[in-house]
Chain A
Amino acid sequence: MKIEREGERLTVTEINELTAANSSNFRDEISSALTGSTVVIEIDLSKTLFMDSSGLGALFALYRSTIKREGVVLRLLNPVPEIEQLLELTQMQQLFEVVRR
């Protein structure tokens, strides 16, 4: 997983999977990278081929922490169709802005 900051934007890329094995790490690393100046958080899911309920839980925890910060936007970028199906199954696509670029 790679975290990059560019001005007010925090971009998380190269997430191959989001499961019980790495969801805590995912949450902690992003939380520690967040600063008061962060306005946009983009999670690039284009390389994420596997996600389970722990991964969904980590995304939900991130969502909850961002709604506490007024004006912060959380986006999921380019999820593969299978991950999109999982988001729809769990109705989590309603929480996130899903963007395809």
Chain B
Amino acid sequence: MKAILICPTDGTAVPHLAECGPLVTVPILGDSIVAHWIERLAELGARQIEVIAPDRADLVREAVGDGARWGVRVDVTVSRFEPTRQESVERHNPEGGPDWLPAPHDIVVMSHLPGCPELPLFESYASWFAALTAWMPLALTPSRVRVSQVRPGIWIGSRAQVSPTSELIAPCWIGDRASVEAGAVVGPGAIIEDRSVAGTTARIAHSWVGPDTFVGRMTSVSNSIAWGSTLIDWRTDSVLHVPDPFLLSSLSKSRIAATTDRFGRAVGPKVPAGKRVELAKAMGTPRAGASDAHLPA
């Protein structure tokens, strides 16, 4: 059976998630959003899935390959704009053909996670975090053997290292190859993605720690999205680029390159020149020699 997945492109409410790639390639709970969707559609019986990618289709293609991983055929199609579900239904499956998955899974806009249409992902950082925490219990599918629920509401990757002196408070998710060091407190409402580290006595609650992120000793990440050296308060959308790597930093070479300048200093997302001038006026004179990128977006 056939199905179509449409990649949403509007990342204006969550720019720091969109800066490194298409929104659907952001890794959450161990895999990209598009991978979670392909897995769900494959479970429902899809064997041929077309992914419509208006934004950086090559990166979407890289994330999903040819679909062999799920036993399906996946084709990534470049589009100049993001079609609505209705437009795609009228164009591809107006009659609800028998060789298509039944609606609404025949054509899906990946603006939410599978099974949670009431929780939009990209409307704000708060909605992103709410969707992730709500989806935590649904993320463990039979095909995902590298994460298991060790206690009610506590999921740990099989190759994760969790110190016996750390404290895990449900609900929490510790990804594959992640590390929770001595005395660290993780949860409630904490997601530590693959290969990330919660340092000694660190505290992480009501937060999402992106993949390959180091949370330093004695630091406290709460009500935040932490990815590399970027810390976003999902309640206020305030964004901090943490200058000291021993507090919060990236363990991924590519992300280090993306978030630091040639001197290794943290930099933020590119801000249009006009906007920089407005911000500089609004915030007063920036420090001498400072990068404009330090100004809050």
Contacts and interface: CB of A to CB of B under 8 A. Distances in A.
Interface in A18-77: 19, 47, 49-50, 52-53
Interface string B218-250: 111110100000010100101110111011100
A92 to B, nearest CB: 10
Given A53-B244, A53-B247, 9 more contacts: A16-B285, A16-B287, A47-B284, A50-B243, A52-B243, A82-B240, A89-B248, A90-B220, A91-B220
6 contacts: A17-B287, A49-B284, A53-B244, A81-B238, A85-B233, A89-B248
B2 interface: no
A50 B285 CA distance: 12
Contacts of A80: 296
Q: How large is the interface on A (under 10, 10 to 19, 20 to 34, 35 or more residues)?
A: 10 to 19
Interface string B193-235: 0000000000100000000000000111110100000010100
B15 to A, nearest CB: 16
A49 B248 CA distance: 18
B294 interface: yes
A98 interface: no
Interface of B: 203, 218-222, 224, 231, 233, 236, 238-240, 242-244, 246-248, 283-287, 290, 294-296
Contacts of B240: 82, 85-86, 89
Contacts of B203: 91
Nearest to B290: A50
A4 interface: no
Interface of A: 16-17, 19, 47, 49-50, 52-53, 80-82, 84-86, 88-91
A24 to B, nearest CB: 16
Contacts of B220: 88-91
A81 B224 CA distance: 13
A88 B240 CA distance: 11
Given A16-B284, A90-B219, A91-B220, A81 B296 contact: yes
